[in-house]
Amino acid sequence: MIDTNRISDFYSKTVLEHMTAPRNWGVTQDCDGFGRAAGSCGDTMEIALKIKDDSILACTFESEGCGATIACGSIVTQMATGRRVAEARRIDQKAILEYCGGLPDKNGHCALLAAEALQRAIDDHYQMQRAPWKKLYRTAR
Ligand code: FES
């Protein structure tokens, strides 16, 4: 169990909410866009998108990263859900940091990891539109 009394000195209320109760957890490669990214620290994040008529109906994630990474994954899925794909493409590290009220310097790369996983899922979506047969060659989890 996370002791929010101590870490609240370092993390915003929004970050703590997502850290302790992450939204949209769980990915499947049976989706319309799948992205996996690795951070500079070696932690990874996966994001899966369900897309219809160019709108993101669902955005889910999984990560084995730190608490800040879990919060950023949860936040980026919430930011992307309901948006047009082209709008979601503009969600970057800075947008995540603004949304969550900032992170300690040592965790800035956690927001970058979440943004990169989302961008790779969107790239995958565009690639699947151009060459749907490539979905067959996604690596199994
Ligand atoms: Fe590496 Fe958060 S992603 S410490």
Domain assignments of the chain as residue spans, ordered by start:
7-128
Question: Which residues are near ligand 1 (CB < 6 Å)?
Answer: 39, 41, 43, 65-66, 68-69, 107, 109-110, 113
Exposure letters 110-128 (e unless 16+ CB within 10 A, then b): bbbbbbbbbbbbbebbeeb
- Atom number in ligand 1 closest to CA 69: 2
Q: What pLDDT digit, counting tens, does each position of 97-108 carry? A: 999 999 999 999
CATH code given to domain 7-128:
3.90.1010.10
Give the whole-angstrom CA distance, residue 76 versus residue 104: 18
Q: What pLDDT digit, counting tens, does each position of 88-98 carry? A: 999 999 999 99
Percent of the chain beyond pLDDT 90?
80
Q: Tell me the longest C-alpha to C-alpha distance in the chain.
A: 50
- Atom number in ligand 1 closest to CA 113: 3
Residue 141 pLDDT > 90: no
Give the whole-angstrom CA distance, residue 140 versus residue 95: 31
Closest CA to 91 of 49, 29, 42: 49
